[in-house]
């Protein structure tokens, strides 16, 4: 049974399976997707100064640490959730 007004916030986006959205569907009715770039409040400068990207390289997951990576996750979720239940970054934290 889906909880009433329950949000999952995916922040920052991390490597996940294609089934992630399907697994959340019965549990939430709102999803906010945020990343290291929009979500750090400085356009990614703070995250870059911490050299977070270097953690992805040895794993071969550099594509996940990219300003466009959230778009792929958004599309995965859009295939499962109605678009009016999906939010990106700041808009997902507004009432």
> Order of strands across the sheet with 7-10?
7-10, 30-33, 86-88
For residue 2, pLDDT beyond 60: no
* Residue 43 or residue 50, greater confidence: 50
What ranges do the domains of the chain cover? 7-93
In the structure, what pLDDT confidence band is assigned to residue 27 with cuts at 50, 70 and 90?
very high
Per-residue confidence (pLDDT) for residue 19, from 0 to 100: 94
For residue 78, pLDDT beyond 90: yes
């Amino acid at each position: 049974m889906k909880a009433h007004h329950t949000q999952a916030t995916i922040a920052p986006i991390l490597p996940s399976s294609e089934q992630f959205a399907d697994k959340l569907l019965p549990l939430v009715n709102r999803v906010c997707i945020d990343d290291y770039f929009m979500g750090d409040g400085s356009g990614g400068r703070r995250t870059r100064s911490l050299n977070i990207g270097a953690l992805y390289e040895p794993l071969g997951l550099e594509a996940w640490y990219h300003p466009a990576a959230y778009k792929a996750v958004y599309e995965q979720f859009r295939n499962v959730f109605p678009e009016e239940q999906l939010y990106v970054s700041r808009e997902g934290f507004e009432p």
